[in-house]
Amino acid sequence: MATLPTAARAFAFPAKPSAASSFSLPRAASSFSGRQVITRVEEVFVSTQVKEISGPHSEEDLRRNRNLLQRLSMLPCGATAWLSLAQSAQSSEGAKLNMVYEVGELFELGIQLSYLLILLGLLGTGTFYVIRQVLVRRELDLSAKDLQEQVRSGEGSATELFELGAVMLRRKFYPAAIKYLQQAIQRWDRDEQDLAQVYNALGVSYKRENKLEKAIKQFEKAVELQPGYVTAWNNLGDAYEQQKDLKSALRAFEEALLFDPNNKVARERRDDLRSRAGMYKGVPVKTTDKR
């Protein structure tokens, strides 16, 4: 082969590389390429590790976060429900308290009305009693005035004297009653059984004056004139009881029950005297011969 000139060698192709040098790179280029490859491998390895490590845990975290968000989202609903329940409970409690308060007010109002009605009833009863007493007193005064005028004029009869004595007895003028009743007995010209009422009135006048001996004599005269005069028998038993003569008092009430077995006054007084005096049935009475 011919040798080329020097200038031609400058433009000639380079010689075919050898097998040993076919894979060799420049030194600088080889160093740069190696670092890139290493960096790329590290990135792939790290990304793989991240995917391996963080992949499943991220889904668990997402589920946890999702559950947490759901729970957090449920908190306002629960709070709202709790507040509504609290408000309803408070409103129901308030309604119960209001109901109790209203019931208490109604009960108190009922008590006040009851007191007011009782007070009005007492006032009405007292007023009626006072008015009645005033009217009765006025009527007695008018009757006594008319009867006194007739008696003073000398035209008064035994009956009018008896009526005047009874009026004085009701007015609690006992000395005047005794005076007019005694005059009525002296002038009596009617049935003797009616005279028993005059003796009974005179006995009551003496008893009110605490003159029991005289009162007993008048009552005994009254039952002598009219044996069935139950009121006189009761008055006689009361006079004996005031004298502490329980046996005579018991006998008088037994006599009253002979004529009126249903007489409440005589029965109660008789039972009381029996328990006090230790007496029982079999007390002798005086009316067996008078019937």
pLDDT confidence tier of residue 235, bands split at 50, 70 and 90: very high
Question: For position 195, which CATH number holds?
Answer: 1.25.40.10
117 in a structural domain:
no
Give the span between the Cα atoms of 196 and 206, in whole angstroms.
15
pLDDT tens digits, 250-274 = 999 999 999 999 999 999 999 998 8
Residue 183 CB burial class (10 angstroms; 0-12, 13-18, ≥19): middle
pLDDT at res. 212: 94
Query: What count of other Cβ atoms lies within 10 Å of the Cβ of residue 1?
Result: 3
Task: Name the token pair of 110.
Answer: 């009922």
Q: Of the given ranges (107-116, 157-166, 228-237), which has the lowest mean pLDDT?
A: 107-116
Q: Which residue has the higher pLDDT, 10 or 247?
A: 247
Give the span between the Cα atoms of 221 and 259, in whole angstroms.
17
Q: Of the given ranges (92-101, 133-142, 168-177, 276-285), which has the lowest mean pLDDT?
A: 276-285
pLDDT at res. 70: 67
For the chain, the average pLDDT equals 74
pLDDT tens digits, 158-211 = 888 898 889 889 889 999 999 999 999 998 988 888 899 999 999 999 999 999
* Measured CA angle at 185 (ends 226, 244), to 5 deg: 60
pLDDT tens digits, 32-42 = 454 554 455 44
Nearest C-alpha neighbor of 223 from the set 254, 246, 255: 255
Question: Which stretch of DSSP H or E encloses residue 18?
Answer: none
pLDDT at res. 113: 83
Give the span between the Cα atoms of 180 and 167, in whole angstroms.
10
Residue 171 CB burial class (10 angstroms; 0-12, 13-18, ≥19): middle
pLDDT at res. 73: 64
Cα-trace Rg, the chain: 67
289 in a structural domain:
no
263 in a structural domain:
yes
185 in a structural domain:
yes
pLDDT at res. 291: 38
Give the span between the Cα atoms of 160 and 181, in whole angstroms.
10
* Amino acid letter, 127: T
pLDDT tens digits, 84-101 = 776 676 666 667 677 777
Task: Name the token pair of 68.
Answer: 């947490």
119 in a structural domain:
no
> For residue 151, which phi and psi values (nearest 5 degrees)?
-70, -40
Is the pLDDT at 22 greater than 60, yes or no? no
Nearest C-alpha neighbor of 221 from the set 250, 245, 196: 196
233 in a structural domain:
yes
Question: What is the dihedral angle through the alpha carbons of 240, 241, 247, 250, rounded to the nearest 10 degrees?
Answer: 100
116 in a structural domain:
no
202 in a structural domain:
yes
Task: Name the token pair of 153.
Answer: 């004029």
Give the residue numbers spanning the domain of 231. 136-277
The alpha carbon of residue 155 and the mean position of all alpha carbons in its chain are separated, in whole angstroms, by 67
Number of structural domains in the chain: 1
Torsion sign, CA atoms 75, 81, 85, 87 = positive
Q: Is the pTM of this model over 0.85?
A: no
pLDDT confidence tier of residue 117, bands split at 50, 70 and 90: confident
Nearest C-alpha neighbor of 200 from the set 176, 171, 242, 169: 169
Q: Which residue has the higher pLDDT, 207 or 125?
A: 207
Task: Name the token pair of 86.
Answer: 């609290």
